[in-house]
Amino acid sequence: MTPAGAPDHGDAASPDGPKDSAERLHKMMARAGVASRRRCEELIAAGRVTVNGTVARVGDRAGPADRIEVDGAVVTWDAGLVHYLVNKPSGVLSAASDDRGRRCVTDLAPAAVRVYPVGRLDADSEGLIIVTNDGELAHRLTHPSWGIPKEYLVHVEGVPARGALAQLRAGVELEDGPTKPAVVSMPQPSVLRIVIHEGRNRQIRRMCDAVGHPVVRLVRTRIGPLTDPALRPGEHRLLTADEVRELHRAAKRRGD
Q: Which residues are catalytic?
A: 122
- From first CA to last CA, the distance across the chain in angstroms is 21
From CA 200, how far away is CA 87, in angstroms rounded?
Answer: 20
CA gyration radius, the chain? 22
Residue 126, helix vs strand vs coil: strand
Please give the DSSP secondary-structure letter assigned to residue 105: G
Residue 116, helix vs strand vs coil: strand
Closest CA to 121 of 136, 139, 140, 142: 142
Closest CA to 108 of 226, 240, 237: 237
Residue 56: Cβ-neighbour burial (10 angstroms; 0-12, 13-18, 19+): buried
Q: What is the DSSP string of 38-62?
A: HHHHHHHHTT-EEETTEE--TT-EE
From CA 14, how far away is CA 233, in angstroms rounded?
Answer: 44
